[in-house]
Amino acid sequence: MGIFSTKNKFKMDALRIKERGSKDTPTNFSEKAVAFMKGMPGYYPNMHETDAEGNKKIHEDDITNIKVVEGEGGRKLYGEILGEKKFVGEKDEGVYDALQKEIDSGLARRKGFTGTDVKEYEKFKLEQMEGPDVEQEKIEVEKEIKDDTSGTTKKEIKEIERRQRFFESFENAFEIDGSRGEDSRLSIPVKFSGNKVNFTDSRTMDYFKGPEGQKIVVGLNDMLRNIKGKVREQVISNLSARDKQLIDYFPERLTDKINNKLKSILDIGPNDRRAFGIQDPLYAIVSMYASDPDKLQQVLRDVGLTGKAGTVKEQQEIESSTPGTEGYETEWRQRRD
């Protein structure tokens, strides 16, 4: 017995499909059964489907005359779908009475119409009509396909404020190039032995006698005077009453104490003169600045010659980027001019 048998008043037609499942994908049947049933009279779900705006719902398979227009960053697709049919011929005044009779008599149901509204029945019959008295609107539709983009990068000059680096104001004042390598040593053509400058090398002395080297010597000699002044204050403040009486009689004792203190904080050893040519505190501070700036920085802190780091305003080239976008495809919609 086939599934479309009418025995025992059981009839599985297209109308029952609409009751048992959704209009397009009835859940009770296989895909083959659905495809077969969609061809039966009475199965017409696409006729009256509308979108959220009340326009006829667009199905991809119904679109014809598709045209592709390439644009910046993507494509735009245009096409056409058929709208509802309209009767344009001469309409009999009693047409609606006649249609109502077909509904009441059950003829409309046998033709596949299950509703009760005469206007809907009229649309149902129009869908099945062809000829010069029937027109069908062509509705223009469109959608967009956007491509992926890689983003953009641009450079611009901006004024920024940053924290001042240690020794920066000193180097600016004496026009010293304070460029350093990965080992923090000053990038100058001199000989380094361990963590000190070797002044016994002729190339080293030639550099410091030259114009660039003299900028460093003059600047650090000025710094050394400030260090001596702070060391003198510290030495005097720590003198006992007995030491002060002796210094009144022997002023050179104060000079000796200051020099000993300087040798200690500048790390001048007893063999530095012979090994590195470091003859006095000026040589020592030049060596420390060139090869061990962190140590000199600590010396300046210990004697109280450093304050809170200031800020510097300068122009820098700033690179900014705009992220790319992911491609996307819109749904088909009625064209809006």
Report which DSSP code applies to 210.
Answer: S
Q: Kindly report, residue by residue over 220-240, the tens digit of the pLDDT.
A: 999 999 999 999 999 999 889
40 pLDDT more than 70: no
Q: What is the pLDDT of residue 227?
A: 94
Q: What is the pTM of this model?
A: 0.48
Report DSSP state, residue 174: T
Reported as a pLDDT band with limits 50, 70 and 90, residue 308 is low
- What count of residues does the chain have? 337
DSSP states of 260-287 as a string? HHHHHHTT--TTHHHHH---SHHHHHHH
What is the residue extent of each domain of the chain? 1-43, 90-131, 165-309
Q: Is 23 left (phi over 0), alpha (psi -120 to 50) or beta?
A: alpha
From residue 233, give the alpha-carbon distance in Å to each of 222, 238, 239, 268. Answer: 17, 9, 10, 21
CA dihedral 117, 118, 124, 130 (to 10 degrees): -170
How far apart CA 34 and CA 304 sit, in angstroms, is 92
Q: Which whole number is the average pLDDT over 162-182?
A: 89
Average pLDDT of the chain? 80
Residue 91 or residue 199, greater confidence: 199
